[in-house]
Amino acid sequence: MAVLERLKSLTGPACTAEQWNEIRPAVSSENRRCILVVTAAFGAMMAIMLVASRFIMRMRAATVLYVAMIFIALAIFAITAHVKPEDEHDIDILVYLTICTTLVYSTILGTAFCTDQVATAYPAFVLAAPLLFTDQASKIGTCIVADTLLFVVMALAFDEPAFVANDIMNSCIFAGVSIGINFYTLNVKIQQECTKIRLSDLSSKDLLTHVRNRNSYEQMLSEYPLRCRKALCCIFADLNGLHELNEVAGHAAGDAMLKCVSTELKTAFGEDAVFRIGGDEFVVFICDRSSEKEIASQVEEVYRRLESSSCHVSFGIAWQKAPIVDMAGLIKKAERQMYVSKRRYYEQAGIDRRGRRD
């Protein structure tokens, strides 16, 4: 039973659509690097074959093919070098252009230029080329099937009769093996990427609110001064009455309040900008994005929405201009502003908070 479950996990869908979207940036970045390496190596191989064709009579007929492949490899390399890692759709297209280029080359070489020999290049390329890239197994499988059909057509058109059946049988067998190997290895690779994302989330995200946690906050304190070119804004938010809510209505009610606040902060300022640094404390960093007036307006809008949901939060806002940003001083200033707002809230509510810091 355990073996069957293991096989099912490896042959079934590697991840959900949501998980795929999470790992896709990392996959695209890695695929981009692979395209550059593969096209450079393939172009170099074609250049060597071109030189060799000057001395080996049998290879001379394929000179035009080698030249064409060199230009195609250089073109794909140049385009990929100019494509940004975040341009996922463009990288996907380049992945399949690279795979198809190598398979079409081996197809033409093994049929049109080697009519009286068993084709050996196509089985080698159909096994190797798809393994170099990561994508959903069904897409790469479809690509292999399409290229194999092209090989079959080319074999029927160009091979001598004595070699047609052998070439077609070999191409189909190796294509089937390639699809099976790719299905397995791609699922393993994708599952590993999903595991990396989950581990990263565990180390950097708060499990309850799904914003960044204290650990991530500490790591980013040294990053923000380097990122900012104009100014850095710090928003310090503290929930009012969370302790009392937990005592009166239970921790489920307190958790719901924390989720409500985190959702509003993420909606307003972006998921990567929000940190939960304590039980009822959130910090938001905004780098070079808006003016002080616009940020204050955003905070006021968040405050109103939270109040309408019976979530009472005190906010403090502080700014520092680049290039010298004192993170400790910036955060302390925002925290002091937050406590001014908190005292005002409790005074207006007629609640005596003397002796309590929160």
What's the pLDDT at 322? Answer: 83
- pLDDT over threshold 50, residue 11: no
**φ/ψ (deg, to 5) at 279:** -60, -45
Q: Pick the most confident of 57-61, 204-208, 227-231, 257-261.
A: 257-261
List, for residues 19-33, the tens digit of each pLDDT value: 788 888 889 999 999
Cis peptide bond prior to 130, omega within 30° of 0: no
- pLDDT over threshold 70, residue 5: no
What's the pLDDT at 17? Answer: 78
With both helix axes pointing from N to C terminus, report the angle between 2-11 and 161-204 in degrees, rounded to the nearest 10.
100
Residue recorded with tokens 């070699």: 163
Report CA-CA distances (Å) from 130 to 5, 56, 100, 138: 27, 30, 9, 12
Q: Are residues 276 and 333 in the same domain?
A: yes
What's the pLDDT at 1? Answer: 46
Structural domains in the chain (count): 2
Q: Are residues 251 and 197 in the same domain?
A: no
The mean pLDDT of 109-113, rounded to a whole number, is: 92
Whole-number percent of the chain with pLDDT over 90: 66
What's the pLDDT at 353? Answer: 56
Name the pLDDT band for 158 (thresholds 50, 70, 90): very high
Chain-wide mean pLDDT for the chain?
89
What's the pLDDT at 13? Answer: 54
Q: Is the dihedral of CA 174, 177, 183, 185 positive or negative?
A: negative
Residue finishing a domain among 169, 203, 237: 203
Q: Are residues 36 and 158 in the same domain?
A: yes
Q: Are residues 233 and 148 in the same domain?
A: no
More confident residue, 288 or 104: 104
User: CA 280 to CA 265: how far, in whole Å?
Assistant: 13
What's the pLDDT at 337? Answer: 95
What's the pLDDT at 4? Answer: 43
List, for residues 329-349, the tens digit of each pLDDT value: 999 999 999 999 999 988 887
What's the pLDDT at 133? Answer: 93
Q: Are residues 260 and 193 in the same domain?
A: no
Q: Are residues 307 and 173 in the same domain?
A: no
Q: Are residues 263 and 118 in the same domain?
A: no
Q: Decide: 111 and 73 in contact? Cβ < 8 Å.
A: no
What's the pLDDT at 202? Answer: 79
The boundaries of the domain holding residue 342 are: 214-349
User: CA 150 to CA 85: how far, in whole Å?
Assistant: 31
Name the pLDDT band for 14 (thresholds 50, 70, 90): low
List, for residues 41-64, the tens digit of each pLDDT value: 999 999 999 999 999 988 899 999
What's the pLDDT at 341? Answer: 93
Residue recorded with tokens 């905070």: 299
Residue finishing a domain among 175, 203, 231: 203
Neighbouring residues of 346: CB distance < 8 A, sequence distance ≥ 6? 240, 352, 353
How many C-beta neighbours within 10 Å does residue 85 have?
14
Answer whether residue 208 is part of any domain: no
Q: Are residues 254 and 151 in the same domain?
A: no
Q: Residue 228 maps to which CATH number? A: 3.30.70.270
List, for residues 238-247, the tens digit of each pLDDT value: 999 898 898 8
- pLDDT over threshold 70, residue 319: yes
Point out the least confidently predicted range of 10-24, 92-106, 249-263: 10-24
Answer whether residue 253 is part of any domain: yes
